[in-house]
Structure 1
Amino acid sequence: MQKFALGIEYDGSWYCGWQRQRDVPSIQSYIENAIKKITAESVTVFCAGRTDSGVHALGQVVHFETYSRCSKSAWTLGMNRYLPSSICVRWARLVHKDFHARFSAISRRYCYIINNSCIRSALLFRKTWHYKKYLDINKMCDAAQYLLGENDFSSFRAAGCQSHSARRKLYHIRIIRKGQCIVIDIKANSFMYRMVRNIVGSLVKVGCGEQPETWIAELLENCDRSLAGVTAPASGLYLVEVKYPSDFSIPSSFIEEL
């Protein structure tokens, strides 16, 4: 039996998240069904990050085990033949038996896109958060610096989160404006359930002037989710990169850091 890793890209607008569920469309079920079409095997696919309903991915990584001896091109071209147009296999790698898409990862990177315009976009409404009020990204950038390093992120931890600890290490958080869109690029060793969306919701309260930049530091200190901002919509969130030790030879994201 061999173990393969795949790089997956998808538009999450049409799915009820990554995880396989009964009677609803999920990314996992489509991937597993495509593998079965090629190998005639029923496999379980494990992912680096279980994205919620409506969340997108440019750099999701998955792994599975199979008896098949298919080539890399068979996995990419073959699987894409059986996948809907909103899901794509970008690359395939034969990996060491010790590799695990989730537990071998050393960092994860997300981007969140806000359409900061008074007029909504018909094309972007499933791909961004439409926020009408003008956001000052300089204030948002200053506030975001308090999040860097290792901290207790309990104030950004969603109800239902099953993580044993709220401590995470943020490596970078960068915010830029491109036309009417604001892009928030955030990287950490790992993230808790809805942590990125909760951080974004709080930074928006700073950007619109409802809270000062130092409020983010107060949230970290208080460790109280009820004090923080709203959870930003799923539509603006993208999993863009998962990093692994170089020994596994997993491709890096094709999305450059901001």
Structure 2
Amino acid sequence: MAKTILVTGATSGFGRACAEKFARNGWQLIISGRRTERLEELRQAFPETPMHIAVLDVRDRTAVESMVASLPTRFADIDVLLNNAGLALGLHPAHEADLEDWETMVDTNIKGLFYLTRSLLPAMVERGRGHIINMGSVAGTWPYPGGNVYGATKAFVKQFSNNLRADLLGKGIRVTNIEPGLAETEFSVVRFHGDRQKADQVYQGTRPLTGEDIADIVWWAVNTPPHVNINSVEVMPTCQSWAPFAIHRNQEKG
């Protein structure tokens, strides 16, 4: 029997690239996202791959629970959950940020992730196997101006992943947090509310990570021997590093 992976946010970026990677390598997939046409497009690109479409907004707890409960028998035993659905909105300092943007990031990056995880974990524990892959970010460790709530949500993902490992000790279930840095997907287009020109400026003069780079890392983490748990992977493009400490100098004081 082919193994099964559930990929949230499979309509673009890391999720799409990961879905394609696993489809090419003989897995069967549950692909989840809000854009039906993109999910259908992905399924049609792999006509030989068993693929179940779940049109889903991960922020809706009832919808998540209903989706998991109604999975076809063939797809019900999930080997890997890739919690990829997430987003950044805005880059304003905290005192100017849009509260609705903050709420959307919390509801998606935090609540959506733990709704899926909580819905699938009992069956994984009962079977004594499974792998939770959470898509974090370097922003969960390294702050930057305007990162405020986005960075905080990814810090949650990091600590939640660590605590899952503690809870699941001896259960045969692995947990991995993937923490990408600068990557060119639809991420910045979403962050700037569709302003592609502003999004393109983020990557000007750089060679950022791609969805395929992250898919390769996810594939590697999943395919290490069962007794090996990759706790976390922090990855940046070589054009990116840490900034020096910021120091505000009051010129009036000399």
TM over 0.5: no
- TM-score under structure 2 length normalisation: 0.24
Report the structure, 1 or 2, having the larger helix content.
Answer: 2
Question: RCO greater where, 1 or 2, for CA within 8 Å and sep 6 or more?
Answer: 1
- TM-score under structure 1 length normalisation: 0.24
Report the structure, 1 or 2, having the larger strand content.
Answer: 1
